């Protein structure tokens, strides 16, 4: 069972894993620092507890401890119980959600393992906005995509903001890196995936007509530049989401949601 430890001193070193979460150079969730994964709020903490990201401790107020009591019955880690005022001084801002959980980063999943049972995946290139990545994982979980894969120049999916925006689904939806970008896309092609690059180019095939494969991988690029020509050449078809006059594209996480929905609607 979780070990409840009451702490009233914000300088207590046992709280260092949660200290200065807004600091650009000391924050514990930076991979070059402590490399921790931080879950915020009861729901995200519950998803962490049910994932491969095993928490090493929790920090929260008494009310949140009560809300998590059933989830913590088999958890052998400390719960540092404190006040909202002490939490705010430790993390650097007032935390309405009232509870945090910290976990070490587990080993990165192997691409082959992630693809073994997958039928629908998204592959990102140059997507460096943490909120977009978090939204992408939430959309993937809600619409039944099996994995998110990362090509070149993407932001860290385990950054605190990405975890929060994803509502903890980044801890549930598998993700992996595609090596040797974009030549590594051949790994997916060899496993029977149809590779579709999303582009606003009006000459591209409408997305609804493009998805013909039994297994589909949709490539999405950063807002603005989109996918590189090099990446699009490595795909089987270029597809577009039909847009109303005067517009040419959607937010990248919204575009991914459209692709995931289209996949559920047309999957063979």
**What pLDDT, on the 0 to 100 scale, is given for residue 115?**
98
Closest CA to 199 of 224, 182, 175: 224
Looking at 104, 134, 158, the residue that finishes a domain is 104
- pLDDT-derived band at 268 (thresholds 50, 70, 90) equals low
Residues 145 and 259 in one domain: yes
Residues 179 and 254 in one domain: yes
**What pLDDT, on the 0 to 100 scale, is given for residue 25?**
64
Q: DSSP secondary-structure letter at 104?
A: E
Residues 98 and 122 in one domain: no
- pLDDT-derived band at 214 (thresholds 50, 70, 90) equals very high
The domain that holds 60 is classified in CATH as: 3.30.1330.30
Structural domain for 66, as ranges = 3-104
d(CA 196, CA 220): 9
d(CA 97, CA 42): 7
Region 13-23 average pLDDT: 92
Residues 140 and 169 in one domain: yes
pLDDT in tens, 21-48: 987 666 788 787 788 999 999 999 999 9
Residues 8 and 85 in one domain: yes
- Mean pLDDT for all residues in the chain: 95
pLDDT in tens, 78-125: 999 999 999 999 999 999 999 999 999 999 999 999 999 999 999 999
Residues 130 and 219 in one domain: yes
Region 192-201 average pLDDT: 97
Residues 138 and 239 in one domain: yes
Looking at 104, 131, 161, the residue that finishes a domain is 104
CA distances from 104 to 48, 221, 234, 246, 253 (A): 11, 29, 35, 46, 27
d(CA 97, CA 99): 6
The beta strand positions in 151-241, using DSSP E, are 175-177, 193-198, 205-206, 215-221, 237-240
Residues 211 and 146 in one domain: yes
d(CA 86, CA 5): 14
Q: How many structural domains is the chain composed of? A: 2
Residues 162 and 97 in one domain: no
Residues 6+ apart with CB under 8 A from 75: 1, 2, 49, 55
Looking at 84, 104, 124, the residue that finishes a domain is 104
Q: How many CB atoms lie within 10 A of CB 178?
A: 22
Residues 91 and 119 in one domain: no
Residues 194 and 253 in one domain: yes
The domain that holds 180 is classified in CATH as: 3.40.1280.10
Helix (H, G, I), strand (E, B) or coil at 62: helix
Residues 205 and 127 in one domain: yes
Decide: 226 and 153 in contact? Cβ < 8 Å. no
Region 140-147 average pLDDT: 98
β-bridge partners, 55: 103
Q: Which helix (H) or strand (E) holds 252?
A: helix 252-266
d(CA 34, CA 158): 12
Single pTM value for the model: 0.95
Q: Between these two residues, 49 and 265, which has the higher pLDDT value?
A: 49
């Amino acid at each position: 069972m979780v070990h409840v430890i009451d702490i009233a001193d914000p300088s207590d070193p046992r709280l260092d894993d949660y200290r200065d979460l807004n600091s650009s150079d000391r924050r514990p969730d930076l991979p070059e620092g402590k490399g921790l994964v931080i879950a915020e709020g009861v729901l995200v903490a519950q998803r962490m507890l049910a994932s491969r990201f095993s928490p090493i401790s929790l920090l929260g107020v008494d009310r949140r401890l009560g809300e998590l009591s059933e989830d913590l019955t088999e958890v052998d880690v400390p719960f540092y119980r404190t006040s909202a005022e002490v939490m705010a001084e430790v993390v650097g801002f007032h935390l309405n959600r009232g509870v945090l959980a910290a976990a070490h980063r587990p080993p990165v999943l192997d691409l082959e393992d992630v693809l073994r049972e997958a039928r629908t995946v998204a592959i990102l290139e140059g997507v460096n906005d943490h909120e977009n990545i978090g939204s992408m994982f939430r959309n993937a979980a809600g619409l039944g995509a099996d994995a998110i894969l990362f090509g070149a120049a993407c932001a860290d999916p385990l950054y605190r903001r990405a975890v929060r925006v994803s509502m903890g689904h980044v801890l549930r939806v598998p993700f992996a890196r595609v090596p040797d970008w974009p030549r590594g896309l051949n790994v997916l092609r060899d496993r029977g995936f149809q590779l579709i690059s999303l582009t606003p180019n009006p000459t591209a095939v409408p997305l609804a007509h493009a998805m013909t494969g039994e297994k589909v991988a949709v490539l999405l690029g950063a807002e603005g530049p989109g996918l590189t020509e090099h990446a699009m050449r490595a795909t089987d078809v270029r597809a577009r989401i039909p847009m109303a006059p005067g517009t040419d594209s959607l937010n990248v996480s919204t575009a991914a949601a459209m692709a995931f929905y289209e996949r559920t609607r047309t999957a063979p």
